[in-house]
Amino acid sequence: MQKISSKDNEFIKHIKKLKDKKQRDLSKEYLIEGIKLIEEAIKENAKIKQIIICEDCEKTESIPKELMYEIAKRECIYVTNKVFENITGVTNPQGILAVIEKKNMEGKRPSEIIDYSQDVIVALDDIQDPGNLGTILRTVDSVGLKQILVSKGTADAYNPKVVRSTMGAIFRVEIIECEDLEKTLKEIKKHKYKIMVSSLQTENSIYDVNYHKKVIVIGNEANGVENKIQEIADEKVKIPMLGKTESLNASVATGIILYEYVRQKGWKK
């Protein structure tokens, strides 16, 4: 059993660096923290590289025995309370975190990774707020979709705040990063999909369209879907607003649209 008691340990320095996107991209790793996320990672067969446990943190006592049995099968590194406080990303840590290896997408174009058997594909055009991104990933997972497209300008899906707010959805939803979202959308259209964008510049409601073979593009919180993507869109829709509010939070809007898709598909318990 390896135990680390120094904040200057090279492995601990590496863990701290993983809080930065540049290092996550370089090492192709990201961090998860807390009992729930560790359980989900194990259940979904995520590539867990190391599990770090606070040896003398009181809250580690709440880790279920069944989970501890699973954790023991993997590379575990124990650290002191002082070291764990130095690497945790939350205010009230549960004394456990893990390093996860990203899926290898190197050398593949987005259009080669996409699963074209799904009715609906969600694409995010420069969503900036990590909380919004995490909630959208969770919503996509909740309706049974297995992938999401994110533009180059969208917040990093492996940001610790995003990872936490997905509540495990990050292990089930394929995150397909697009260097050029417009180009990727044009490629998808060749597979008989139609591009649907959220826009205030239309009278068409989200209830007026059929959700078969659709790419739903959700735009930036402040500026909406960029013009060049609106220009290649087949349909523009908006959510009917009965009050005086003109627009909704991006994650709320995504949820409303996706559950109209669920309604049309025919929900079965």
Torsion of CA 182, 188, 193, 196, to 10 degrees: -20
Question: In the chain, how long is the greatest CA-to-CA distance?
Answer: 64
The answer to whether residues 119 and 81 belong to one domain is: no
What is the token pair recorded at 205? 């409601």
8 Å CB contact between 118 and 141 = no
Which of 82, 101, 120 delimits the end of a domain?
101
Q: What was the pLDDT predicted at 8?
A: 94
CATH number of the domain residue 261 falls in? 3.40.1280.10
The answer to whether residues 185 and 219 belong to one domain is: yes
Beta bridge partners of 216: 122, 196
Predicted TM-score (pTM) above 0.95: no
Of 49, 75, 50, 52, nearest to 63 (Cα)? Answer: 52
Phi–psi pair at 237, nearest 5 degrees? -135, 160
- Classify residue 166 as left (phi > 0), alpha (psi -120 to 50) or beta: alpha
Which of 101, 131, 149 delimits the end of a domain?
101
8 Å CB contact between 129 and 221 = yes
8 Å CB contact between 74 and 47 = no
Q: What was the pLDDT predicted at 60?
A: 67
CA–CA gap between residue 102 and residue 98 (Å, rounded): 13
- DSSP structure string for 182-215: HHHHHHHHTTT-EEEEE-SS---BTTSS--SSEE
The answer to whether residues 164 and 94 belong to one domain is: no
Of 65, 133, 125, 62, nearest to 95 (Cα)? Answer: 62
- Pairing state of beta strands 120-124 and 174-178? unpaired
The answer to whether residues 95 and 176 belong to one domain is: no
What is the token pair recorded at 217? 């593009």
Close Cβ partners of 45 (under 8 Å, ≥ 6 residues apart):
none
The answer to whether residues 187 and 260 belong to one domain is: yes
The answer to whether residues 67 and 115 belong to one domain is: no
The answer to whether residues 137 and 83 belong to one domain is: no
Phi–psi pair at 37, nearest 5 degrees? -70, -35
Q: Which residue type occupies 234? A: D
Torsion of CA 157, 159, 164, 166, to 10 degrees: -10
CA–CA gap between residue 158 and residue 29 (Å, rounded): 9
The answer to whether residues 96 and 133 belong to one domain is: no
Q: Which domain holds residue 90?
A: 2-101
The answer to whether residues 80 and 120 belong to one domain is: no
The answer to whether residues 118 and 235 belong to one domain is: yes
The answer to whether residues 75 and 124 belong to one domain is: no
Close Cβ partners of 69 (under 8 Å, ≥ 6 residues apart):
none
8 Å CB contact between 82 and 7 = yes
CATH number of the domain residue 81 falls in? 3.30.1330.30
Q: How many domains does the chain have?
A: 2
The answer to whether residues 97 and 121 belong to one domain is: no
CA–CA gap between residue 19 and residue 37 (Å, rounded): 17
Ordered per-residue pLDDT tens for the chain, 269 residues: 678 999 999 999 999 999 999 999 999 999 999 999 999 999 999 999 999 999 877 666 778 888 989 999 999 999 999 999 999 988 888 999 999 999 887 778 888 899 999 999 999 999 999 999 999 999 999 999 999 999 999 999 999 999 999 999 999 999 999 999 999 999 999 999 999 998 878 889 999 999 999 999 999 998 899 999 999 999 999 999 888 877 788 999 999 999 999 999 886 54
Which of 45, 71, 101 delimits the end of a domain?
101
